[in-house]
């Protein structure tokens, strides 16, 4: 197991990285416009996807993604296409109010599943775990695989707190804007445009910038 000092250093570095808004945070914020339940569903989905990446890093599968241009491109373009498809689908839908008080359970399951896929199909997340976690692993302290898994789960736990805070604040702000007479118009198209933009950015990400 990592030493207590390694845990503290890892927690501090993880929090610094999690607080800075990235693609996952932007996805969560756009979904939180629908309310707290939707925000929580998106957070849980994103970090369920993170579990997949942590396991892949522990088993060495992320190294294949990092070393294979073909594998990286397949995952990258699949993820970009999925994000753009989600964005366009959100823009053209007219049957759901963005600030629905009680999202249906089916909608919440869909938001959760989308969060899982958005993160699993993000090669930057896989390469991040591959490059970040080993820096805090001590081969002399025991199984490297176990250490990576433990640190990965710790990162996810911190992410649930950090991203959950973003979700709650975003949902509250959206609700207050509407309650004070603000227009809900922007809330209808902002999530879709954000998802499309994330997809475009993902499509132009190469392996070097992903690990930078």
**Residue 96 structural domain:** 4-211
The two three-digit tokens of residue 184, written as one number = 């809900």
**What is the tally of structural domains in the chain?**
1
For the chain, the residue count is 212
What is the share, in percent, of the chain residues with pLDDT greater than 70?
A: 76
More confident residue, 81 or 90: 81
> What is the Cα–Cα distance from 198 to 37, expressed in whole angstroms?
23
The 3-state DSSP class for residue 122 equals coil
DSSP 179: H
Task: Read off the pLDDT of residues 107-166 as tens digits, 9 standing for 90 and up.
Answer: 889 899 989 988 888 877 887 887 888 788 877 777 888 888 999 999 999 999 999 999
The two three-digit tokens of residue 51, written as one number = 């579990």
pLDDT at residue 2 in the model: 64
User: Rounded to the nearest 5°, which phi and psi values hold at 180?
Assistant: -90, 10
């Amino acid at each position: 197991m990592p030493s207590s000092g390694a845990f503290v250093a890892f927690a501090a570095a993880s929090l610094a990285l999690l607080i800075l808004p990235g693609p996952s945070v932007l996805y969560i914020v756009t979904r939180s416009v629908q309310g707290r339940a939707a925000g929580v569903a998106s957070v849980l989905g994103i970090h369920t996807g993170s579990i997949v990446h942590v396991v892949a890093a522990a088993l060495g599968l992320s190294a294949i993604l990092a070393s294979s241009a073909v594998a990286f491109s397949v995952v990258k373009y699949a993820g970009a296409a999925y994000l753009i498809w989600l964005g366009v689908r959100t823009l053209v839908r007219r049957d759901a109010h963005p600030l629905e008080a009680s999202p249906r359970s089916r909608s919440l399951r869909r938001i959760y599943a989308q969060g899982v896929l958005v993160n699993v199909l993000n090669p930057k997340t896989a390469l991040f775990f591959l490059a970040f976690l080993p820096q805090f692993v001590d081969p002399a302290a025991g199984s490297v695989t176990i250490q990576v898994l433990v640190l990965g789960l710790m990162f996810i736990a911190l992410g649930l707190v950090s991203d959950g805070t973003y979700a709650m604040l975003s949902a509250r702000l959206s609700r207050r804007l509407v309650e004070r007479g603000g227009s809900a118009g922007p809330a209808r198209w902002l999530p879709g445009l954000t998802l499309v933009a994330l997809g475009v950015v993902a499509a132009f990400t190469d392996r070097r910038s992903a690990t930078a």
